[in-house]
Amino acid sequence: MTPSDPLPPNEITITQEMIDEYARISGDFNPLHVDVEAAARTPFGGTIAHGCIPMEPIFKVVQRIIGKPVMPAGSRMSLRYLQPSRPGDTIRLELRDDGNDAAAADLVFACVNQRGDKVIEGRCTLG
């Protein structure tokens, strides 16, 4: 990827139904994710998405860029969750190549919600 390459468009819109289904698939039924009434009584004021859900655009975009259905073996990803994502949020990816070695792209990314708030930031080094 070079700075002149267009980034494949990708975003994810989070719904409570999506969160509930992710809970079923992952077994993560943390009340913060799936119990609307209980979550409303927490400082979050409502349910929040599993952290893996707003991460999805990074996988999709990277895999599309490299033309493979999975990340190359040896790929590394480090990230911080800056804010929770909630039902109704649309998360889009901002990505830039921060590496000098074309064979081992070093991608800096941010997942940003519809208000422009960064919810995740991180780095992905392809194997």
Partner 1 sequence: MTNPLTTFEGAVIGREVCQGHIVVTQDDIDSFCRLMGYDDPAYRAGAAGGAVAPTSMCLTYGLRLGWEEDVFPPGAIRMGDENVYGVAARAGDALTTTLTIVDRFERKGRRFLKYEMTTTNGAGETVCTVAFTAIVP
> Computed over its alpha carbons, how large is the radius of gyration of the chain?
16
If one asks whether residue 60 binds partner 1 (CB under 8 A), the answer comes out as yes
Site string for partner 1, 66-95 (x = CB under 8 A): ---xxxxxxxxxxxxx--------------
If one asks whether residue 65 binds partner 1 (CB under 8 A), the answer comes out as no
User: To the nearest 10°, the Cα dihedral for 57, 59, 79, 95?
Assistant: -60
If one asks whether residue 29 binds partner 1 (CB under 8 A), the answer comes out as yes
Return the number of the residue (4 or 80) whose C-beta is nearest partner 1. Answer: 80
Return the number of the residue (50 or 112) whose C-beta is nearest partner 1. Answer: 50
If one asks whether residue 9 binds partner 1 (CB under 8 A), the answer comes out as no
Return the number of the residue (44 or 114) whose C-beta is nearest partner 1. Answer: 44
Q: 41, exposed or middle or buried, with CB in 10 Å at 0-12, 13-18, 19+? A: exposed
Tokens 């009584």, residue located: 41
- Give the closest residue to 87 by CA, choosing from 24, 20, 38: 20
CA–CA gap between residue 37 and residue 40 (Å, rounded): 5
Binding site for partner 1 (CB under 8 A): 12, 18, 21-22, 25-32, 50-52, 55-56, 59-60, 63, 69-81, 122, 127
